[in-house]
């Protein structure tokens, strides 16, 4: 879109929001027992909002009405079949509950929920990862950083339409959230990520949209297979992260050691993968890896924040930063020194990675102390009770 037209559209939308938002709030009284859930991933129900939503739905004595709002008809139909409340954001019931809900539970931004309808609601932002890479205002390439001064003014003003709280895992990400979202520490509450509760216990219906994947994993576990999981992050440059998966040496290692390698590309990854190897299994880009993470024996990643969460399981992690300098320069700067905060064996080329996999399968693990150090620095809570803490926190906001 032409930059001038984009600015005009943004200004008109802003004026409309300022006109309608107070009007809605004048006539509508919000209900503290209605919680609206929404996700950055519009093609699935996943990650933090998913697990808190399931937690509330699976409690028999809950006085909270959790409702999933989306524009995805498949999600609405699937959740309703499970007996849960879900509505299209443009349906009459969807709009009604958005206007009535006191709490909006999100994992990034309002996504499918219009800010016009959020005035005087309270936003509980669970976010979607402990940041290794710089985010939001801290990332010079983020869309927020690229906004003009007047666009930033309106963007920040929209946030004032609702009270916002950010849920962190501890002091590490609280400090990052403060600068990334330009908020005060009293708006950041260290209660833990609901998705990490899945490391400690099972949730009813956590396999939603992944039923066949989980059945297959359970079959492999019964057969005694060792399961490895490769989870690379995306590159803005479009650089491929999967060429090594076609390695004959990898196939030989998996064959010899009764192992399988699962892999999942980031939803923003621009690459398609064609691999002819029956010992590799690709998960959909939109699948929820937290539904299976505790079944994995070893994680392989590069700069994905999933490794922070995997530390809760105290299992081996292999890091494959084959393009570290290029990634920091061309894709995303990091908050911390990479080597200091990645407690695991490093591989910088395909041969080193294959060797690291073999040594890990052999049981070589010299990083338990290093993992404990980072885990204790990052996580204030390591007990699988984040959902309970968040529910109690939100309920106490009304007192």
Q: Is the pLDDT of residue 92 over 70?
A: yes
Q: Which pLDDT score is estimated for 81?
A: 95
Q: Which pLDDT score is estimated for 161?
A: 56
Domain assignment present for residue 205? The answer is no
Domain assignment present for residue 63? The answer is yes
Q: Is the pLDDT of residue 26 over 70?
A: no
Same domain, 21 and 36: yes
Rounded average pLDDT over 347-365: 97
pLDDT, greater one: 150 or 347: 347
Number of structural domains (the chain) is: 2
pLDDT category of residue 20 using cuts at 50, 70 and 90: low
Q: Which pLDDT score is estimated for 17?
A: 59
Domain assignment present for residue 204? The answer is no
Same domain, 109 and 220: no
Same domain, 159 and 264: no
Q: Is the pLDDT of residue 151 over 80?
A: no
pLDDT, greater one: 41 or 347: 347
Domain assignment present for residue 206? The answer is no
Q: Is the pLDDT of residue 25 over 70?
A: no
Same domain, 231 and 130: no
pLDDT single digits (tens) 183-213:
999 999 999 999 999 999 999 999 999 999 9
Q: Quick check: pTM over 0.85?
A: yes
Same domain, 160 and 239: no
CATH code: domain of residue 80 = 3.40.50.11820
pLDDT single digits (tens) 241-261:
998 998 999 999 999 999 999
Question: What's the Cα-to-Cα distance from 399 to each of 32, 103, 196, 393, rounded to whole Å?
Answer: 11, 15, 28, 10
- Percent of the chain exceeding pLDDT 90 equals 69
Kindly write down the DSSP assignment for every residue of 272-341, as one continuous string.
------TTEEEPPTTS-GGGTGGG-SEEEESS-THHHHHGGGT--EEE--TTHHHIIIII--BSS-TTTT
Same domain, 238 and 156: no
pLDDT single digits (tens) 314-326:
999 999 999 999 9
Question: Which DSSP symbol is given to 207?
Answer: T
Same domain, 181 and 272: no
Domain assignment present for residue 110? The answer is yes
* CA 205 and chain centroid, separation: 18
pLDDT category of residue 337 using cuts at 50, 70 and 90: very high
Question: Which residues, listed in sequence order, are joined to residue 34 by a DSSP beta bridge?
Answer: 65
Same domain, 56 and 88: yes
Domain assignment present for residue 190? The answer is yes
Same domain, 159 and 142: yes
Q: Which residue has the tokens 């959230």?
A: 177
Same domain, 238 and 158: no
- Structural domain boundaries, residue 15: 3-199+384-396
Same domain, 221 and 160: no
Same domain, 148 and 218: no
pLDDT category of residue 19 using cuts at 50, 70 and 90: low
Question: Which residues, listed in sequence order, are joined to residue 122 by a DSSP beta bridge?
Answer: 103, 163
């Amino acid at each position: 879109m032409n930059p001038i037209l984009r600015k005009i559209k943004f200004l008109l939308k802003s004026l409309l929001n300022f006109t309608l938002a107070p009007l809605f709030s004048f006539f509508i009284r919000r209900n503290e027992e209605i919680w609206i859930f929404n996700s950055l991933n519009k093609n699935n129900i996943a990650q933090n909002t998913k697990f808190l939503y399931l937690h509330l739905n699976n409690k028999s004595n809950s006085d909270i009405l959790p409702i999933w709002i989306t524009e995805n008809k498949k999600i609405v139909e699937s959740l309703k079949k499970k007996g849960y409340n879900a509505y299209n954001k443009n349906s009459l019931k969807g709009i009604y509950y958005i206007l009535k809900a006191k709490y909006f539970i999100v994992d990034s931004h309002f996504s499918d929920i219009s800010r016009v309808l959020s005035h005087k609601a309270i936003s509980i932002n669970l976010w979607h990862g402990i940041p290794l890479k710089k985010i939001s205002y801290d990332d010079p390439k983020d869309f927020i950083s690229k906004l003009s001064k007047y666009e930033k003014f309106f963007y920040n003003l929209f946030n004032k339409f609702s009270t916002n709280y950010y849920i962190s895992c501890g002091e590490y990400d609280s400090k990052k959230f403060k600068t990334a979202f330009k908020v005060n520490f009293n708006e950041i509450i260290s209660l833990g990520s609901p998705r990490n509760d899945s490391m400690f216990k099972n949730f009813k219906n956590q396999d939603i949209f992944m039923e066949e994947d989980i059945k297959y994993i359970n079959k492999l576990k019964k057969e005694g297979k060792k399961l490895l999981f490769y989870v690379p992050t995306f590159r803005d440059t479009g650089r491929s992260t999967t060429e090594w998966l076609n390695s004959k040496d990898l196939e030989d290692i998996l064959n010899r050691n009764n192992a399988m390698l699962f892999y999942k590309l980031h939803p923003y990854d621009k690459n398609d993968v064609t691999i002819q190897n029956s010992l590799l299994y690709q998960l959909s880009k939109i699948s929820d890896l937290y539904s299976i993470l505790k079944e994995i024996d070893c994680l392989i990643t590069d700069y994905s924040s999933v490794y922070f969460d995997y530390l809760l399981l105290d299992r081996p992690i292999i890091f494959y930063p084959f393009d570290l300098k290029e990634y920091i320069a061309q894709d995303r700067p990091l908050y911390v020194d990479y080597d200091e905060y990645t407690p695991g064996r490093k591989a910088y080329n395909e041969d080193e990675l294959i060797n690291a996999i073999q040594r890990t399968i052999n049981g070589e693990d010299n990083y338990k102390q290093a993992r404990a150090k980072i885990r204790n620095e990052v996580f204030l809570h390591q007990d699988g009770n984040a959902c309970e803490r968040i529910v109690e926190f939100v309920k106490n906001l009304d007192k």
